[in-house]
Amino acid sequence: MLKSLPSIFLVLSFKIYSPINTLPFNEKYDYKEALSLSLLFYEAQRSGPLPPDNRIPWRGDSALHDTGQNGEDLSGGYYDASDFVKFGFTMTFSTTLLAWGLLSYKDAYKYAGQYKYGLEAVKWATDYFVKCHPSAYEFYGQVGDFSTDHRFWGRPEDLNMSRPAYKIDKDHPGSDLAGEAAAALAASSLVFRETNKTYADIILKHAEELFDFATTYRGLYNDVIPGAKKFYEVSGYGDEITWAAIWLYKATRKLKYLEQAEQYYTEFRLKERPNEFFYNKKVAGLQLLLALETKRPEYNNAILNFCNFTIYDQKRTPKGLIYIDKFGTLSHAANVAFVCLQASEIEEYGSNFVNFAREQIDYVLGSAGRSFVVGYGKNYPRKPHHSASSCPDRPLPCGWDNYHSKDPNPQILYGAVVSGPDENDYYEDSREEFLYNEVTLDYNAGFQGVVAGLIYFDNKDNSNTIEKKTSPSHDDLKLLNA
């Protein structure tokens, strides 16, 4: 394998990796607690009727009357960020990453006592995606109007505004959105395959229909859905339909999907090394999946080249955080760490990649001098840019005075990863400074996967802590069958 690598890559591959962080790297952080808290964040973002075992005491039922253009029930799903719009594109991408983490590190979720909650987090999204797909060539990609929503600051339970629903269809296609939805449902079908086969079959059928939609009727979703271009613009759909194809191959083992993935990989010129991995740039993730599924040197070299560039040549803050973009600084770092953590199993020198992922997550958890996860550690963000958690307990009113308040949020938004510091490690814990303190669904998704992965790697050689069996337990089989 190594003979096939270009000479410049060989030099990079065998560098001795050492953490750049100026603070003690071997300080221990409680990844199990971080995983548990991250799942609580997703529960705080739930829309629709909440279950009887709701664990967020300051949240209640909300947006119960979300409906489609023909009266379809679109209740459920997740609110995107501090606001109450349900953006399908980022919700589907977040779900794909959550499902991927559960698939790769299931035993870590079990060891941490979070497997049940992980399944529930994914299913809360997939149940909603099924509602959003009322026919083969329709998919609702947004509920709520961003401009109207942002004139309101308060609780989702108090929403009293119009919430229009926007969809793609064969006359108004969105290959990127349909492709990402197909990927999310395909990945999730693998998650539920052992515990709820009937449900896995249902969502896989939707995934295959959505992939057909994405490839048959081509177009960009943000040319169809108003507001999407301003907030979650996409630069093309090639990576989404390739991403969907490889996930469908993993879920079905139908060779046609692998052939399509490789065809699109060439057709859309996805061979070049990416610099990032997030909802708008999935090339690193699909390169990794192609490498894992085919074992071909072309894909192996591509993903290893990406990880070596990320570790040794990507821009960093003075304290060692990978710096890609100020919007979601920590999320970008966690996402590339997630990819490289998965890639660590391709090569013997993959321990470098594990150490890199640990360094980035430890920065998020406190190695730079403070925690960036709400509720974790002693010095965590007290004023995240998040409407619902800024409100006092009901029946006290909530409005723009709460937004401008200098006091900590009355409710602790446990587990939320804030956007993070700037390129100089400067951070401001202010509700009004969304560049530092915004929280979103996708900010937590890659982070959660890496945390689970670090639990796995810390315990995989200890048979007493990480379960080696692949067959489901009796309790597993009962999960989610209700």
Q: Which residues are identified as catalytic?
A: 429, 438
Q: Distance (Å, rounded) from C-alpha 283 to C-alpha 8? A: 22
For residue 337, give the nearest of 31, 74, 10, 127 by alpha carbon: 31
Please give the torsion angle defined by the CA atoms of residues 451, 453, 454 and 459, in that order, rounded to the nearest 10 degrees.
130
Q: Two tokens at 374?
A: 């709400």
For residue 45, give the nearest of 56, 33, 34 by alpha carbon: 56
- Beta-strand ranges (E) seen in 134-174 are 138-143, 165-169
The CB density around residue 42, as the number of other CB atoms within 10 Å, is: 25
Amino acid type, 358: R
* SS3 labels along 40-59: HHHHHCECECCCCCCCCCCC
Q: Distance (Å, rounded) from C-alpha 449 to C-alpha 451? A: 5
Q: How many Cα atoms occupy the beta-carbon half-sphere of 67 within 13 Å?
A: 6
DSSP symbols for 74-137: ---SB--SSS--EEHHHHHHHHHHHHHHHHHTHHHHHHTT-HHHHHHHHHHHHHHHHHT-SSTT
Strand order in the sheet with 86-87: 86-87, 138-143, 165-169
Sign of the torsion angle spanned by Cα atoms 252, 255, 256, 260: positive
**Phi, psi (degrees; rounded to nearest 5) at 281:** -140, 95
Amino acid type, 439: V
For residue 432, give the nearest of 404, 399, 407, 409 by alpha carbon: 404
